[in-house]
Chains A and B, each alone.
Chain A
Amino acid sequence: MKIDLTVDGMAVTAEVDPGETLLPFLRRLGAASVKNGCDNGDCGACAVLVDGRAVNACLFFAAKAAGSEITTAEALAGADGLHPLQTASLDLGAVQCGFCTPGILMTALDLLAYNPDPTEEEVRHWLAANYCRCTGWVKPVEAVLAAASMLREQEAS
């Protein structure tokens, strides 16, 4: 069947295979930032926003996304440059191999939409949805806190 949806701001009409999840579907459309780390809902590397909320793309039926707005890490940076989550991640050394990074960024984006001023503990609880094997989490957690602070300042000014 064909579905209509929006992917990173672009209207898309595409064929969905029976039982297909968003992970292969989005990658088929060229969204390479959606990473397959486990195909089992365990690792969070494929996290994307569906209508603003983070989901594991590997567990979400593509057909269910009909009419929805999908956001991937590829849409995070705007015309005026990188998103604060991306900037903070680079400045604080939160990216090593970078394979899990898009998923972490999307989970964090969801957190900050819901709670713009999280504590470290809240960040850690939220990011428990993702695995990172490289960093030991010190710097990714710092980066989310720093980005939250940057976003609040932007909001205030």
Chain B
Amino acid sequence: MSDFTTIGFNERKVDGDSLVTGKPVFAGDLDLDHVLHLALLASPHAHAKIVSIDTSRAEALEGVELVLDHRNTPPTRYTTAGQGYPEPSPYDARMFDTTVRFVGDRVAVVAADTLEIAREACGLIDVEWELLPPVLSIDDSIAEGATIVHPEEDASGIFDAARNIAGAVEAVVGNVEAGFADSDIVVETTCETQYAQHVPLEPHIAQSWMDEHGRLVIYTSTQVPFHARRIVSRVLDIPVHRVRVIKPRLGGGFGVKQEILQEDVLGLVTLRTGRPARWEYSRKEEFVSSRTRHPMRVRVKVGATSDGMITALEMDAISNSGGYGTHGLTVLSNAGSKTLPMYNKAEHIKFSGKAVYTTMPVGGAYRGYGATQGCFPLETAIDEVAVRLGVDPLELRRRNHIRTGETSPLFEELGEGRKGVEMTISSCELGKCLDSGAELFGWEAKRSRPKDEGRVRRGIGLSIHMQGSGIPEVDMGAASIKMNDDGSINLHVGATDLGTGSDTILAQMAAEVLGLPLGKVIVLSSDTDLTPFDVGAYASSTTYVSGTAVVRAATDVKQQVLEVAAAMLGSPADGLMLGDERVTSPDGQSVTLAEINLRSLYGADQKQIAATASFVPSESPPPFMASFVEVEVDIVTGKVTLLDYVAAVDCGQAINPAMAEGQVEGALANGIGYALMEEMVFDGSGRVRNADMARYKLPGTLDLAPIKVILVESHDPTGPMGAKSVGEIGINGPIPSIANAIYDAIGIRLTETPFSPEKVWRAMRDAGIE
């Protein structure tokens, strides 16, 4: 469709060689001399007050340098959520508080010469507890007379602390009651999703030291280096210019590294002791003390006419935010804002919800960010509408889905914890996704075959999805490019490659604009001293937001190149062509980029060819996906096995198709895990019972059906090179598609994830299937 030279090609990752050869590129691979090792004393109680804490025995242990707890650390209230400032999350946390609010909450941290000593010292800390009533579920939290999780006076930004509501939101379009009254059929369902963890292969790890100028350096596996700098500066009350945050390669994040969980403590240890410090979560700590997906209970009501048009939509969500309100309001909002606009023919829409405090693990950002939880009841209710009307669920979606040039009033009514922005869909190839996905999957053939009646019963299901491309009027990305004397460029971006390949696709964009081979683009991301600002890697923002900043900077650099070339060639700049590392005039004369830069750096009119550009989006064009799955259900054991998975995705122009496919494949796998097996299991006191990778089961090679991803041809006119973002959307597909396929197989609508053999078996037993 175009004459791109690198966009649309499967270039190798720019950091790939170092990764496959095992170079020391991760935060934990740095060995610092005289480093202090940190160990966490985590709360054994879901809810308790520290009456007294005695660290003298720990401090007396040989090799212990410092013990931190609430008595010797700043009491500033803040949020650990790495979000734009001011954050939409309440300031309800302290570095160390006098109250603990989940099993795994911070009580104290020991810094010692070895990890073994630090851990031993943790065991020597004596804490006298006053146990408070735990709040272990959404129902506990909203019950009359429930224990208040955040009664403290100095917290701010809590919606209604007395009723345990961290955040609440409501958006209304039209009149849903009237809409349902006018509908021919109304379907209502309530679905619940469970606690789950991100499980990046690399648990949280960060290190810190004082540089030769007495500045604090934090070397951390984070998705949000600039937010980390801002939050550390605020909490420790040191100026931003005294802090440098460096992000090396990340061993995965998926949202959990959008939280500031270690950097504040490391910073304080290094400031107090002058020594480098290292804090590495064990796998158990990653499960117990970091962040999770917000479990939700979401009720959806759908009204439709008998000819299969969706006319009214209501969604009401309650999210369990755990002990703190991090991302509570925004994840909640996205349960509606990243699902309901797909059915934009509905004139009546109501979304309401609240994120409530419990004394359970803390919800954070997790790929999908609420859309995953919201699309489960929505897409199963839409499926039920199709069943009741006797319409092919594929056809029902074809009739109702949003299209290019259309809008949804919800875009303006519902943003991330506040009003959104008006937006007309600049590209939507959902129709193509449904067509090409159905064809590859064999939807028609599979749908028309007779139902299985034996022990193993096959079923098919589908669902449609949207996400966004960054947060409009909030997110900002910036890029700096300078050109060198051989015509290569340094591309410095604040955008934070967390393993997705964003360094590579941003390099491809710069290379495309400047007519360079990818090897001539030297990428650096991200270092708060060296790279321009970027909010970080979240909200599917990097390709669209940071990418546009890169294209802008590259376009500026290109203009400067052409101006120098114009002087060299004696030909006006606007007639010159840049490509293949040279600039050519209409009469066929040319100069190379190396010659241009040698002149610019050493010859006439000397200057550094360089530019910095930034971008704040005014809209967030959604990627779209049609998701198809075939399962078989063993009616004796309840085991659900995937037979086939097809996802057709509209992500605009894929900058690097293999990497875009990889984003979708990986997100689908993560979603399949959440749909079928992943679940944090708790005992009656709020303690995680399966805090390891043996008992918290991730999908492996044998659990995943061959996943087939189609990237449909698409071009978004507002995106960089026509691109939209694609990092999250895949994770939303598996739950509703699999739920609908299970219904097709055995006629039961499951409303609680994960669809484990036990749950499926119990549901079948209750329904009399055997």
Contacts and interface: CB of A to CB of B under 8 A. Distances in A.
A45 B693 CA distance: 12
Nearest to B701: A124
Contact of B662 (A36, A74, A139): A139
Nearest to B252: A97
B702 A35 contact: no
Contacts of B704: 136-137
Contacts of A137: 665, 669, 700-701, 704
Contacts of B701: 123-125, 127-128, 137, 141
Nearest to B730: A136
A128 B700 contact: yes
A92 B16 CA distance: 11
A67 interface: no
B706 interface: yes
Contacts of A89: 16, 20
Given A98-B249, A133-B200, A135-B666, A90 B659 contact: no
B343 interface: no
Interface stretch (B230-238, B298-306, B497-505): B497-505
B19 A95 contact: yes
A13 B662 CA distance: 42
Dominant SS among interface residues on chain B: loop
Contacts of A102: 20, 22
Interface in B16-51: 16-17, 19-26, 28-29
A136 B701 CA distance: 8
A36 B28 CA distance: 9
A133 B673 CA distance: 10
Contacts of B74: none
Contacts of B445: none
Contacts of B669: 135-137
A138 interface: yes
Given A96-B501, A97-B250, A131 B22 contact: no
Contacts of A95: 13, 16, 19-20
A101 interface: yes
B283 A40 contact: yes
A134 B282 contact: no
A4 interface: no
Contact of B202 (A37, A72, A82, A123): A37
Contacts of A45: 201
Nearest to A33: B22
Given A39-B282, A98-B19, A90 B698 contact: no
A17 B635 CA distance: 52
B698 A133 contact: yes
Nearest to B21: A77
Given A86-B21, A91-B12, A96-B500, A40 B694 contact: yes
B531 to A, nearest CB: 20
A12 interface: no
Contacts of A63: none
A132 B701 CA distance: 9
A101 B692 contact: no
Dominant SS among interface residues on chain A: loop
Contacts of A101: 19-20, 22
A100 interface: yes
B665 A136 contact: yes
B38 to A, nearest CB: 16
Interface string A27-43: 00001111111111011
Interface in A45-101: 45, 72-74, 76-77, 82, 86, 89-93, 95-101
A105 interface: yes
A145 B501 CA distance: 23
Given A37-B201, A38-B692, A128-B701, A99 B251 contact: yes
Contacts of B667: 136
Contacts of A39: 282-283
A133 B197 CA distance: 12
B665 A131 contact: no
A12 B449 CA distance: 65
Given A35-B251, A93-B658, A99 B665 contact: no
Nearest to B286: A38
Given A134-B499, A136-B669, A136-B707, A93 B10 contact: yes
Contacts of A91: 10, 12
Interface in B187-201: 198-201
A97 B499 contact: yes
Contact of B702 (A37, A43, A74, A124): A124
Nearest to B692: A40
Contacts of B29: 32
A82 B21 contact: yes
Nearest to B702: A128
B668 A99 contact: no
Contact of B22 (A72, A130, A134): A72
Contact of A73 (B22, B201, B252): B22
Given A96-B500, A128-B700, A136-B669, A38 B24 contact: no
A97 B10 CA distance: 17
B201 A133 contact: yes
A61 B61 CA distance: 29
A76 B23 CA distance: 12
Contact of B665 (A74, A127, A135): A135
A100 to B, nearest CB: 5
Most buried by A among B26, B201, B499, B661: B201
A95 B661 CA distance: 12
Nearest to B202: A99
Interface in A90-120: 90-93, 95-102, 105
Contacts of B252: 96-97, 99, 133-134
Nearest to A120: B706
A86 B283 CA distance: 27
Interface string B199-236: 11111000000000000000000000000000000000
B23 to A, nearest CB: 7
A82 B17 CA distance: 9
A34 B659 CA distance: 25
Contacts of A31: 22
Nearest to A31: B22
B254 interface: yes
B320 interface: no
Contact of A90 (B13, B23, B200): B13
Given A73-B21, A99-B201, A138-B707, A93 B692 contact: no
A31 B702 CA distance: 30
B716 to A, nearest CB: 22
B670 interface: yes
Interface string B67-96: 000000000000000000000000000000
20 contacts: A31-B22, A74-B22, A77-B20, A82-B20, A90-B13, A96-B501, A97-B19, A97-B200, A98-B251, A99-B202, A101-B19, A123-B701, A127-B701, A128-B700, A132-B201, A133-B670, A135-B666, A136-B669, A137-B669, A138-B709
Given A76-B21, A105-B20, A138-B706, 4 more contacts: A37-B202, A98-B251, A102-B22, A133-B198
